[in-house]
Amino acid sequence: MTNSLYIFTLLAIFSAAGKWVSGQGRVADVVTDQFFNGIINQAAPGCPGRTFYSRSAFLQALGSFPRFGTEGSPENAKREIAAFFAHVTHETGHMCSRVEKDGKSRDYCDETNRQWPCVPGKGYYGRGPLQLSWNYNYGPAGRDIGFDGLNNPEIVARDPVVSFKTALWFWMRNCHNAIVSGQGFGATIRAINGQLECNGASPATVTARVNYYKDYCGQFRINPGGNLRC
């Protein structure tokens, strides 16, 4: 092998390995049809989410978040994907629900938040894969993603790409750094619902999330790591 060919081969190998940190192609390789459908097919046949959520919508939304599942070591990158879908599975009941079941009984309006004031008649209850809630989340999510979060929160339960974008938006702001830096799955639970679940508040719920995470890590053939609970 000539020196130039040897160097070219090495560069090709390094480039392929670098996909974990420089692109999102690997996420699609991990979130296969089999993996995605393995979650959603466990939902009851009549669930609205079964005809709403799709792998293609997830991958389309992923284009706006190139850091998801591509940073840190290859193992940590897969852990992030496993952690995200563990929470999605728990929050939606295997992607059964687009909207929080009892959400409409509350508006989830924080009237003290002046930056993102609630619009009369609008409800900011949980919608989407991670059940985006509260006006102070809908407002900035809409600003960053490109929809009117305060006046049109309903789009999160009507447009599957927007829906996945809100979940990825929340994840990248609150969970991404914790999981890729090796803080463990427990840190993501704390970021999502810590006050209601962590420090013994709801150990059964924490266990449910952890079990989904461990299952998906097993499917990806990776060690789930430590610090699984919060």
Active-site residue identified among 71, 80, 91, 100: 91
- Can you read off the two tokens belonging to residue 159? 């447009």
Residue type at position 14: F
Rounded Cα distance between 67 and 41, Å, is 28
80 is catalytic: no
Q: What is the dihedral of CA 136, 64, 173, 104, to 10 degrees?
A: 40
- Angle CA 146–149–152, to nearest 5: 105
Rounded Cα distance between 215 and 81, Å, is 12
Residue count of the chain, please give it.
230
Rounded Cα distance between 201 and 217, Å, is 25
Rounded Cα distance between 192 and 189, Å, is 5
DSSP string, 78-124: HHHHHHHHHHHHHHHTTTT-SB-TTGGG-----TT-SSSPPPTT---
Write out the catalytic residue numbers: 91
